[in-house]
Each structure stands twice: as C-alpha cells, then as structure tokens.
Amino acid sequence: MQDHTFGQDSWHATTIVMVKKGGRTVIGGDGQVTVGQTIIKGNAKKVRRLSKGEVIGGFAGATADAFTLFERLETKLEQYPGQLMRACVELAKDWRTDRYLRRLEAMMLVADTQAALVLTGTGDVLEPEAGDHGSVMGIGSGGNFAMAAARALLATDLGAEAIARRALEIAAGICVYTNDNFLLESIESR
C-alpha cells in the first residue's frame, strides 16, 4: 500500500510556468492542491507579488514551506533592494546551509524587471536559457508539459501572457495534479 502522508506527495501538486517574451515576464500557475490521490483545494494562489509589487513569484511544493521561503525572500529583498539576483543567491545559501531551511520541500520561480530565476533547495539559482523568441521555465508535476508547450508557442505571434495561459491549459489536460483554475502575474522587463 502506498503511503499518502504530507511528505513527498505534496511535490506533485501543481504546475507553474514562466514566460519571458517581448519585454514582459509572466508567471502563471494552477490552483489545485493535491495530497496523495485526493484533491484538497482547487483555488489555491500559488503565484503572487512580492516586494511591494516589484517581484512576481510562483511556487511548487509544500505550501507552508513555500510561504516560509517567500517570507525569507522578502527579507532578503529588503536587505538588497532592487537586487533580485543577489537576494536569491543569499536565500539559496541559507536554504542550503540552515538546518531548518534544508528540510523545506519547495521550488520557486521569481522575476523582476531585470531577471527571471528558478530557486531550488539544492542551492540552484538558475536563469532560463534565452532563445531567439524569449525564454520559458516550468516547475511542479506539470512543469515540463507547460514548458514544452510554451517553448513551442514562443515562435508564434502570441504574447507572453497568452503563451503562459495556453501552456497551463495544455499541462492541465495532461497532468492529473493540475487544474484549469489559473492565476497569472506579469511584470515589464527591462
């Protein structure tokens, strides 16, 4: 029998996608929260604005862990205003070395007007690879589906928000841990 506790199963419960195209960065996510094989909630807000609206972010993983990381990122952004990359690197250092933070099970996509980044508990702070038409990144159980769809749509005339929405729709049609209750936030790039 499979164990359905709140540990690793919570990693499977979302799709978050980031699309950077035409001077705009969009982060979108679904609203489904799943524990094991049970849908607990359908309208969770996994995408939000941080740092007085200057940063957008989305998370995949355990909700309490992600909120803890968002709070820590807010603190780092206050310490290093206007320096998302530096704040994320400092958070990643803490996440990797702090005994409490090391146990957190979540990943984040964050962006401001200058940078778009993926943060993981292994100390990674990664910028998505830029292509001819823009860049994309996905996390969560449906993240690879959304990322593949978004990459295919980058070469079209669609804008960043339309691409993110369509990529989430495609992921929701494939990943059972993803629903079609989407929330998107965007920010103008520099």
Residue in 32, 50, 30, 52 with CA at minimum distance from that of residue 41: 32
162 residue type, one letter: A
Residues involved in catalysis: 14
Strand partners, 185: 27
110 in Cβ contact with 119 (< 8 Å): yes
137 in Cβ contact with 120 (< 8 Å): no
- What SS3 state is found at 47? strand
Give long-range contacts, CB 8 A cutoff, 24+ apart: 73-80: 73/108, 73/110, 74/50, 77/50, 77/51, 78/51
Q: Are strands 47-50 and 55-61 parallel, antiparallel or unpaired?
A: antiparallel
> Which residue is it, tokens 């094989």?
37
